[in-house]
Structure 1
Amino acid sequence: MTVPLGGVSLAEHAAVYSALADAGFTDVWTAEVAGTDAFTPLTLAAAWEPRLRLGTAIAPVFTRGPGLLAMTAAALAETAPGRFQFGIGASSPVVSGDWNAADFVQPFARSRDMLRFLRSALAGEVVDKQYQTFRVKRFRLERPPATPPQIMLAALRPQMLRLAAAEADGVILNWLSPGDVTTALAETKEARPGFEVAARIFVVPTEDAGYARTVGRRMITSYLTVPAYAAFHRWLGREAALTPMWQAWESGDRKGALAAIPDELVDELIVHGSPDQCRARVQAYADAGLTVPVMALTPTPELERGGFAALTELIAALGPR
């Protein structure tokens, strides 16, 4: 499950983590966009609920320096030995540049260089090296973790997917259908045994299909207009389906962009329906090759009316059988 959950303060998440573990969820994963940072919710989970594994999806490679990113990951790995999977990725020009004053240049090279640096640093090595995108002079962690975390790389298209297979412990996918998983994983055939495959799956847990599709369209215009995701879906073969939305968005016609997204596309990319239907759709992702299918709950009118009691009931209903 993606945490933190909406409508619940971080200080109140101890009950959320317990409910997730009781329901059979194995992992909690974070994102880092403009809400919480990627590490604080996981640190709380590590302290409050030892049954859960932890993961970042993702910690951006542009928004922290190499040493700070290594120290932050090492601290969480020390807090939760053997339970932390460290997902990194390029993020986007908006997150990195507009919001964090970092130059979003050479995202592939920066991701590769940070992956290689972190592998060495988290193993406790002295790193004194000129990488293509940055220079590190004699850095060594004072507290290297006894159990270094698995390092996973966010990837969308062939070059980054092949890098993940060659050098990372796993790959993190995003914004794709169960059928798209097979296409993406065809580029990771050289991965070593035990290679993890994670993806965030957006779940709108309501049987009101009209409401779910309205929410899904807003999410699609927010993400699939980002250049990297647009290129990803062109590669997946959705150029014809998405071009009307892209054209309307580029012209400033936001309502037209929403209206141009067909129901069928929303239903491919957004899980919605009853808890049983949502679980079945998530299972389809696992059957396609995900080893870590990560739900991301979107608020619904039912949850807003029912409050925390409705949320805990939903968590129990969504948990694996």
Structure 2
Amino acid sequence: MSGPSVGAAVSIGIAAASLELDDVAVLAHRVEQAGFTALWVNDTPDADALAVLASAAAATARLKLAVGAIPVDRRPAPAILADIAQLDLPTDRLTIGIGAGRMRRGALQAVSTAAAQLRAALPSRVVVGALGPRMRRLGAMDADGVLLSWLTPEIAAAQARSAHDQRAGAHAALYVRAAVDDDARGRLVDEAAKYSRVPAYAANFGALGITAQDTVIRPERAADRLAAYRATVDELVLRAVPADDGLDAHLAFVNEVRDLV
């Protein structure tokens, strides 16, 4: 990246189903070459994020590999551990994000138990995808940190400070949906609208007094927005919203962001 490193580490995020595995390997190699900290992969019901990370691992030597966030109601800790072993993922480079998924009753206990099991078995960092204050506290106290998302810079800074106050050394990572190409603007609007319809996110937006559109990085003034977010957390994950789902568009996103950071 150009210039000195200031503020949060910067990582790239993609959806698990967005690219073929061979293309993920090419992208991961480029992300490593460009000097980013990690490649994060969203875990989704229609694609295995850990398998995607295995392709990235095979094409890289230093790049951190992260998944955010595996719902423990769908994939409990023993299953996660078995898959990591079967895929031979490099656990020294791995960050495992977990969350409650669709669980309502017993969610805090289930996530706490999963975090303890993963941390006992692996040297990997374990972070908790968290919206509310109790889950964020759990991430800071019972895991290695929190994975935040869909926040303005001001709210992200406050939530990161809270995590650090609860436990020195707690890692605060923030997912921010970003489009840096004018042709991707419509897809960014659609992405925000989709999350606005998810009940848990809609309730959180209402409680915070913000909208999903308030929390994204648009092509205009992208550099200023990046700088604002980098001042808030320990790791800024730019969830790529490229012009299309092809490899070339993802590579273009990485190159454009590299020039902005």
TM over 0.5: yes
Corresponding position of 1:205: 180
Corresponding position of 1:175: 150
RMSD: 2.7
Q: Determine whether 1:83 maps to 2:22.
A: no
Counterpart CA distance in 1 for 2:161 and 2:247 is: 41
Compute the displacement of 1:284 (Å): 1.5
Structure 1 vs Structure 2: percent identity of aligned residues? Answer: 26
Counterpart CA distance in 1 for 2:55 and 2:70 is: 17
Q: What is the SS of the residue equivalent to 2:92?
A: coil
Q: What is the SS of the residue equivalent to 2:14?
A: coil
Q: 1:9 aligns with which of 13, 20, 33?
A: 20
Q: Unpaired runs of 5+ in structure 1?
A: 94-102, 123-144, 243-264
Whichever of the two has the greater Rg, that structure is 1
- C-alpha contact 2:39 2:63 (8 A) present in aligned 1: yes
Read off the aligned partner of 2:134 and give its amino acid letter: Q
Aligned residues: 249
Read off the aligned partner of 1:231 and give its amino acid letter: A
Corresponding position of 2:8: none
Counterpart CA distance in 2 for 1:7 and 1:237 is: 31
Distance 1:189 1:48, change over 3 A: closer
Counterpart CA distance in 1 for 2:15 and 2:133 is: 31
Deviations 1:113-172 (A, max 9, x none): 22233333x1xxxxxxxxxxxxxxxxxxxxxx5xx1111111111111111121111100
Q: 1:271 aligns with which of 211, 214, 217?
A: 217
Distance 1:216 1:316, change over 3 A: closer
- C-alpha contact 2:29 2:56 (8 A) present in aligned 1: no
Distance 1:189 1:295, change over 3 A: closer
Q: 2:69 aligns with which of 58, 61, 68?
A: 58
Q: 1:317 aligns with which of 246, 249, 256?
A: 256
Distance 1:104 1:70, change over 3 A: farther
Counterpart CA distance in 2 for 1:186 and 1:228 is: 23
- C-alpha contact 2:148 2:175 (8 A) present in aligned 1: yes
Q: Unpaired runs of 5+ in structure 2?
A: 1-11
Q: What is the SS of the residue equivalent to 2:49?
A: coil
Corresponding position of 1:293: 236
